[in-house]
Amino acid sequence: MRRARIDPAFTTPYIAKTMAIREIIKIPDKRLRLKSEPVQKIDAGIKKLVDDMFETMYAAPGIGLAAIQLGVAKRVVTMDLSKKEEDHKPQVFINPEIIWASEERAKYEEGCLSIPEYYEEVERPAEVKVKYLDLDGKSHEIKAKGLLATCLQHEIDHTNGVLFIDYLSKLKRDRVVKKFTKAAKESAMKKEEA
Protein backbone atom coordinates (compact mmCIF):
# COMPACT_ATOMS: atom_id res chain seq x y z
CA MET A 1 0.00 0.00 0.00
CA ARG A 2 1.32 3.43 -0.95
CA ARG A 3 2.21 5.76 1.91
CA ALA A 4 1.10 9.39 1.97
CA ARG A 5 3.35 12.26 3.07
CA ILE A 6 2.08 14.02 6.17
CA ASP A 7 2.51 17.71 6.80
CA PRO A 8 4.35 18.09 10.15
CA ALA A 9 2.01 20.96 11.02
CA PHE A 10 -0.70 18.37 11.64
CA THR A 11 1.28 16.24 14.08
CA THR A 12 0.90 16.56 17.81
CA PRO A 13 4.01 16.47 20.01
CA TYR A 14 4.30 13.10 21.68
CA ILE A 15 6.37 12.67 24.80
CA ALA A 16 6.93 9.13 26.00
CA LYS A 17 6.07 8.67 29.68
CA THR A 18 4.91 5.61 31.52
CA MET A 19 2.93 3.82 28.88
CA ALA A 20 1.25 0.47 28.79
CA ILE A 21 0.50 -1.90 25.98
CA ARG A 22 -3.17 -2.74 26.26
CA GLU A 23 -5.15 -5.61 24.80
CA ILE A 24 -6.78 -4.85 21.46
CA ILE A 25 -10.30 -6.24 21.38
CA LYS A 26 -11.24 -8.26 18.32
CA ILE A 27 -14.42 -9.22 16.54
CA PRO A 28 -16.91 -10.60 17.53
CA ASP A 29 -16.53 -8.46 20.71
CA LYS A 30 -19.75 -6.40 20.86
CA ARG A 31 -17.93 -3.36 22.26
CA LEU A 32 -16.58 -2.71 18.75
CA ARG A 33 -20.16 -1.83 17.74
CA LEU A 34 -20.57 0.84 20.45
CA LYS A 35 -20.82 4.46 19.44
CA SER A 36 -18.08 6.32 21.31
CA GLU A 37 -18.82 9.33 23.49
CA PRO A 38 -17.23 12.73 22.77
CA VAL A 39 -14.36 13.75 25.05
CA GLN A 40 -15.67 16.52 27.32
CA LYS A 41 -12.35 17.42 28.93
CA ILE A 42 -8.79 16.63 27.91
CA ASP A 43 -7.36 15.67 31.28
CA ALA A 44 -4.58 13.42 32.57
CA GLY A 45 -6.78 10.35 31.97
CA ILE A 46 -7.22 11.16 28.27
CA LYS A 47 -3.51 11.93 27.89
CA LYS A 48 -2.64 8.58 29.54
CA LEU A 49 -5.11 6.86 27.19
CA VAL A 50 -3.41 8.50 24.19
CA ASP A 51 0.04 7.40 25.46
CA ASP A 52 -1.22 3.82 25.87
CA MET A 53 -2.86 3.92 22.43
CA PHE A 54 0.43 4.88 20.79
CA GLU A 55 2.35 2.23 22.72
CA THR A 56 -0.24 -0.41 21.76
CA MET A 57 -0.46 0.74 18.13
CA TYR A 58 3.32 0.68 17.63
CA ALA A 59 3.67 -2.71 19.32
CA ALA A 60 0.89 -4.32 17.25
CA PRO A 61 2.21 -2.94 14.76
CA GLY A 62 -0.42 -0.71 13.18
CA ILE A 63 -0.84 2.73 11.64
CA GLY A 64 -4.09 3.73 13.33
CA LEU A 65 -6.08 2.94 16.45
CA ALA A 66 -9.38 4.11 17.94
CA ALA A 67 -9.90 4.09 21.70
CA ILE A 68 -12.86 1.72 21.36
CA GLN A 69 -10.41 -0.93 20.12
CA LEU A 70 -9.01 -0.89 23.65
CA GLY A 71 -12.53 -1.10 25.08
CA VAL A 72 -12.71 2.64 25.85
CA ALA A 73 -15.79 4.25 24.26
CA LYS A 74 -14.26 7.71 23.79
CA ARG A 75 -13.87 9.56 20.49
CA VAL A 76 -10.06 9.40 20.41
CA VAL A 77 -7.93 8.29 17.44
CA THR A 78 -4.17 7.88 17.11
CA MET A 79 -2.31 7.47 13.84
CA ASP A 80 1.21 7.35 12.46
CA LEU A 81 1.63 6.88 8.72
CA SER A 82 5.42 7.26 8.70
CA LYS A 83 7.44 4.63 6.88
CA LYS A 84 9.52 2.14 8.85
CA GLU A 85 12.77 3.92 8.03
CA GLU A 86 11.39 7.33 9.08
CA ASP A 87 11.07 8.86 12.53
CA HIS A 88 7.65 8.46 14.12
CA LYS A 89 5.11 11.13 13.19
CA PRO A 90 2.32 10.50 15.71
CA GLN A 91 -1.01 12.23 15.23
CA VAL A 92 -3.88 12.54 17.71
CA PHE A 93 -7.46 13.31 16.74
CA ILE A 94 -9.88 13.98 19.59
CA ASN A 95 -13.59 14.13 18.72
CA PRO A 96 -12.81 13.79 14.99
CA GLU A 97 -15.67 14.53 12.65
CA ILE A 98 -15.83 14.35 8.86
CA ILE A 99 -17.28 17.68 7.73
CA TRP A 100 -16.83 17.16 3.98
CA ALA A 101 -16.19 14.23 1.65
CA SER A 102 -15.43 14.31 -2.08
CA GLU A 103 -17.65 12.65 -4.64
CA GLU A 104 -14.53 11.13 -6.18
CA ARG A 105 -13.85 7.66 -4.82
CA ALA A 106 -10.65 5.72 -4.15
CA LYS A 107 -9.92 2.09 -3.29
CA TYR A 108 -7.36 0.95 -0.73
CA GLU A 109 -6.66 -2.45 0.72
CA GLU A 110 -7.60 -2.11 4.38
CA GLY A 111 -6.82 -4.17 7.43
CA CYS A 112 -7.68 -3.71 11.09
CA LEU A 113 -5.98 -4.55 14.38
CA SER A 114 -9.39 -5.78 15.62
CA ILE A 115 -9.64 -8.16 12.62
CA PRO A 116 -6.03 -9.40 12.48
CA GLU A 117 -4.48 -10.73 9.29
CA TYR A 118 -7.55 -10.03 7.16
CA TYR A 119 -7.38 -7.51 4.30
CA GLU A 120 -9.88 -6.41 1.68
CA GLU A 121 -10.14 -3.59 -0.82
CA VAL A 122 -12.60 -0.91 0.32
CA GLU A 123 -13.91 2.03 -1.68
CA ARG A 124 -14.32 5.35 0.14
CA PRO A 125 -14.34 9.07 -0.70
CA ALA A 126 -10.91 10.01 -2.11
CA GLU A 127 -10.69 13.20 -0.02
CA VAL A 128 -12.18 14.31 3.28
CA LYS A 129 -12.06 17.32 5.54
CA VAL A 130 -11.95 16.47 9.25
CA LYS A 131 -12.51 18.73 12.24
CA TYR A 132 -10.85 17.65 15.50
CA LEU A 133 -9.17 18.74 18.73
CA ASP A 134 -5.51 18.25 19.58
CA LEU A 135 -4.18 17.25 23.02
CA ASP A 136 -4.16 20.91 24.07
CA GLY A 137 -7.87 21.22 23.25
CA LYS A 138 -7.23 23.40 20.20
CA SER A 139 -9.58 22.99 17.27
CA HIS A 140 -8.16 22.09 13.84
CA GLU A 141 -9.35 21.13 10.37
CA ILE A 142 -7.37 18.92 8.03
CA LYS A 143 -8.03 18.17 4.37
CA ALA A 144 -6.74 14.71 3.58
CA LYS A 145 -6.38 12.49 0.54
CA GLY A 146 -4.76 9.16 -0.20
CA LEU A 147 -3.81 6.90 2.69
CA LEU A 148 -4.40 9.65 5.27
CA ALA A 149 -8.01 10.10 4.06
CA THR A 150 -8.59 6.34 4.14
CA CYS A 151 -7.13 5.97 7.65
CA LEU A 152 -9.12 8.90 9.01
CA GLN A 153 -12.35 7.45 7.62
CA HIS A 154 -11.49 3.96 8.90
CA GLU A 155 -10.72 5.17 12.45
CA ILE A 156 -13.65 7.61 12.61
CA ASP A 157 -15.87 4.71 11.55
CA HIS A 158 -14.61 2.84 14.65
CA THR A 159 -15.81 5.70 16.86
CA ASN A 160 -19.26 5.20 15.31
CA GLY A 161 -19.32 1.42 15.77
CA VAL A 162 -18.61 0.73 12.09
CA LEU A 163 -15.96 -1.75 10.87
CA PHE A 164 -14.35 -1.84 7.45
CA ILE A 165 -15.94 -5.24 6.80
CA ASP A 166 -19.31 -3.45 6.82
CA TYR A 167 -18.38 -2.15 3.34
CA LEU A 168 -17.96 -5.68 1.98
CA SER A 169 -20.59 -7.96 0.51
CA LYS A 170 -22.79 -9.75 3.05
CA LEU A 171 -21.23 -13.07 2.03
CA LYS A 172 -17.64 -11.89 2.68
CA ARG A 173 -18.61 -10.14 5.92
CA ASP A 174 -20.48 -13.20 7.25
CA ARG A 175 -17.49 -15.45 6.43
CA VAL A 176 -15.09 -13.20 8.36
CA VAL A 177 -17.39 -12.89 11.38
CA LYS A 178 -17.97 -16.66 11.43
CA LYS A 179 -14.21 -17.35 11.31
CA PHE A 180 -13.43 -14.95 14.18
CA THR A 181 -16.42 -16.12 16.25
CA LYS A 182 -15.20 -19.72 15.95
CA ALA A 183 -11.65 -18.68 16.93
CA ALA A 184 -12.96 -16.74 19.96
CA LYS A 185 -14.96 -19.78 21.14
CA GLU A 186 -11.94 -22.07 20.75
CA SER A 187 -9.77 -19.62 22.67
CA ALA A 188 -12.33 -19.37 25.49
CA MET A 189 -12.53 -23.18 25.72
CA LYS A 190 -8.72 -23.45 25.97
CA LYS A 191 -8.71 -20.89 28.79
CA GLU A 192 -11.39 -22.83 30.68
CA GLU A 193 -9.37 -26.06 30.32
CA ALA A 194 -6.19 -24.43 31.65
Answer for the pair 6, 64: CB distance below 8 angstroms, yes or no: no
pLDDT-derived band at 191, boundaries 50, 70, 90: confident
Express each pLDDT in 24-63 by its tens digit. 999 999 999 999 999 999 999 999 999 999 999 999 999 9
- Gap between the Cα atoms of 97 and 80, Å rounded: 18
Stated length of the chain: 194
List active site positions. 155
Q: What are the C-alpha distances in Å from 5 to residues 137, 155, 182, 184?
A: 25, 18, 39, 37
CA distance 129 to 68: 22
| Count of beta carbons in the 10 Å neighbourhood of residue 74 | 20
| Domain 8-193: top CATH class | alpha beta
- Tens-place pLDDT, residues 103-113: 999 999 999 99
Domain spans of the chain, in order of start: 8-193
- pTM of the full predicted structure? 0.87
- 12 has pLDDT over 70: no
Percent of the chain surpassing pLDDT 90: 80
